[in-house]
C-alpha cells in the first residue's frame, strides 16, 4: 500500500511540475519590423515558418524571412531575476509576407463621394464671373414684311379685286446656333414663312359672264441672318445671367410668289438683303435652357421686282411693281439649349 501511495504522489508531482514549467517557460519571437511576440512555439518548419501561441490564445504563423531572432527562455527563479538562461536563433533575410493564422478583420473601406462638375443653382454668387455659352436655337416670330402689304393693299387697289387677301402679319419659324459671353452675343438663324391663299376670278365678255378661274397661290419668304448683340449683363454667377441687348442684323432673303390654276403654274421670284436692329432681352440659368425675346425692325433693298422666268413683273398703279421687300416689324421668341 505504501508503494502505491508513493507512485500516486510522484505522478501528481510530475504533472504539476510539467504544468508549472510550461507556464513559466516562454519563447520570444523578434520580427524585423520591431515587433516582439511572446508565447509558446507550437510548431516549427525548419527554414520555412514557425507557429506561436500567445498567452491570450491567439495563434500566429510567421515565415522565417520576417524573423530577426527567436529566444527560448528558461523559467525564472524569482520575480525580477534577469539571469534566466536564453537561447537565440537567427533567421535568413528573404522578402515574403507573414501569414497570420487568425487574421484581424479588415476595416470597411471609406465611402468616396465623387464630386460632380455639373453646374447647379447652388453655385456661389459672383457678379464678376466670366461666362461662355454655346447652344442650339429654335425660334418663332410674328412679322409683317412689306411683300404681304403690297399684295393685300397695292395689288387689290390696282385690280379693284379683294381676292389677294393674304395675312398681313404671319408666323415664321427657324433654327440656328448661338454663342454668348460677357457683354456680347452672336447668332446665326435660318428662318422661313409661307402664306397660302385661294381665290376665284370671274370673267366677262361684252357684259356677259364667261366663266371663272380658281387659282391656288402662296407667298414664301425664307432667309438666313447673322446677328451680333451688344449686351448689358446682370450676372448672378456664371450659370445665371440675364441680359438687355441691342441686336445688329444682316441677312439675305428669297421671296417666291407661286400661282397654280387650270393653265399651269407660274413663279415670280427675287432676292433681297436686309439690315435690322431693335431691342432684346434674354437669360439663362443652371438648367442650361436659354430664353430670348426681341423686337426688331428690318430695312430691305428695294427695286428687286418679282419676275417670272420670262421677265414678266407684277404691275401696280402708277408704273410700280411688286418687289421682294421684307421691311417691317418682327416680334421674335427664341429657346436655346446650351
- Domain-wise residue ranges, the chain: 25-113, 133-337
Residue 333 pLDDT: 96
More confident residue, 187 or 211: 187
pLDDT exceeds 50 at position 98: no
As a whole number, mean pLDDT of residues 54-81 equals 74
Burial class (CB in 10 A: 0-12, 13-18, 19+), 109: exposed
Query: Using an 8 Å Cβ cutoff, are 226 and 251 in contact?
Result: yes
Question: For residue 26, what are the CA distances in angstroms to 42, 74, 102?
Answer: 11, 7, 21
More confident residue, 126 or 97: 126
3-class secondary structure, 215: strand
pLDDT exceeds 70 at position 86: no
pLDDT exceeds 70 at position 105: no
More confident residue, 280 or 2: 280
232 vs 246: CA distance, rounded Å: 9
pLDDT in tens, 223-257: 999 999 999 999 999 999 999 999 999 999 999 99
- Which range is least confidently modeled, 12-26, 200-214, 289-303? 12-26
More confident residue, 285 or 10: 285
- Which range is least confidently modeled, 101-105, 182-186, 228-232? 101-105
CATH class of 133-337: mainly beta
3-class secondary structure, 21: helix
Reported confidence tier of residue 156, pLDDT bands at 50, 70, 90: confident
Cell reading at 251 = 441677312
209 vs 27: CA distance, rounded Å: 133
216 vs 197: CA distance, rounded Å: 6
283 vs 139: CA distance, rounded Å: 15
Residue 83 pLDDT: 45
176 vs 185: CA distance, rounded Å: 13
pLDDT exceeds 90 at position 24: no
Q: Can you count the helices (H) and strands (E) in the chain?
A: 3, 14
Residue 79 pLDDT: 44
Query: Using an 8 Å Cβ cutoff, are 254 and 262 in contact?
Result: no
- Report the DSSP pairing between strands 240-261 and 170-181: unpaired
Residue 92 pLDDT: 52
Query: Using an 8 Å Cβ cutoff, are 274 and 298 in contact?
Result: yes
As a whole number, mean pLDDT of residues 265-286 equals 95
pLDDT exceeds 50 at position 96: no
- Which range is least confidently modeled, 179-183, 200-204, 245-249, 288-292? 200-204
Sheet holding 67-73, edge to edge: 59-63, 49-53, 36-45, 26-31, 67-73, 86-90
As a whole number, mean pLDDT of residues 195-203 equals 79
pLDDT exceeds 90 at position 3: no
Residue 56 pLDDT: 82
Phi, psi of 189 (to 5 degrees): -125, 145
pLDDT exceeds 80 at position 301: yes
pLDDT exceeds 90 at position 80: no
Query: Using an 8 Å Cβ cutoff, are 296 and 288 in contact?
Result: no
- Its pTM stands at 0.60
Mean pLDDT of the chain, nearest integer: 81
Residue 122 pLDDT: 60
Amino acid at each position: 500500500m505504501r508503494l502505491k501511495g508513493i507512485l500516486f504522489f510522484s505522478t501528481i508531482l510530475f504533472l504539476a511540475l510539467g504544468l508549472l514549467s510550461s507556464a513559466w517557460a516562454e519563447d520570444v519571437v523578434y520580427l524585423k519590423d520591431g515587433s516582439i511576440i511572446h508565447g509558446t512555439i507550437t510548431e516549427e518548419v525548419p527554414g520555412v515558418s514557425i507557429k506561436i501561441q500567445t498567452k491570450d490564445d491567439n495563434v500566429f504563423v510567421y515565415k522565417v524571412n520576417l524573423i530577426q531572432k527567436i529566444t527560448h527562455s528558461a523559467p525564472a527563479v524569482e520575480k525580477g531575476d534577469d539571469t534566466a538562461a536564453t537561447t537565440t536563433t537567427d533567421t535568413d533575410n528573404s522578402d515574403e509576407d507573414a501569414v497570420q493564422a487568425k487574421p484581424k478583420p479588415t476595416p470597411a473601406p471609406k465611402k468616396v463621394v465623387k464630386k460632380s462638375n455639373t453646374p447647379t443653382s447652388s453655385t456661389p454668387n459672383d457678379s464678376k464671373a466670366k461666362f461662355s455659352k454655346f447652344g442650339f436655337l429654335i425660334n418663332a416670330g410674328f412679322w409683317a414684311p412689306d411683300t404681304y402689304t403690297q399684295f393685300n393693299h397695292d395689288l387689290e387697289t390696282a385690280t379693284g379685286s379683294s381676292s389677294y387677301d393674304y395675312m398681313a402679319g404671319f408666323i415664321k419659324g427657324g433654327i440656328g446656333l448661338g454663342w454668348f459671353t460677357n457683354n456680347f452675343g452672336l447668332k446665326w438663324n435660318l428662318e422661313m414663312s409661307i402664306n397660302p391663299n385661294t381665290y376665284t376670278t370671274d370673267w366677262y365678255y361684252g357684259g356677259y359672264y364667261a366663266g371663272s378661274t380658281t387659282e391656288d397661290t402662296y407667298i414664301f419668304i425664307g432667309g438666313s441672318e447673322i446677328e451680333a448683340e451688344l449686351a448689358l449683363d446682370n450676372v448672378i454667377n456664371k450659370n445665371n445671367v440675364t441680359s438687355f441687348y441691342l441686336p445688329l442684323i444682316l441677312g439675305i432673303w428669297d421671296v417666291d410668289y407661286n400661282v397654280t390654276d387650270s393653265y399651269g403654274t407660274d413663279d415670280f421670284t427675287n432676292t433681297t438683303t436686309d439690315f435690322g436692329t431693335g431691342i432684346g432681352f434674354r437669360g439663362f440659368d443652371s438648367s442650361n435652357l436659354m430664353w430670348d425675346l426681341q423686337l426688331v425692325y428690318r430695312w430691305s433693298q428695294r427695286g428687286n421686282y418679282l419676275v417670272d422666268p420670262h421677265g414678266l413683273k407684277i404691275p401696280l398703279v402708277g408704273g410700280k411693281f411688286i418687289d421682294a421687300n421684307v421691311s417691317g416689324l418682327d416680334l421674335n421668341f427664341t429657346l436655346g439649349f446650351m
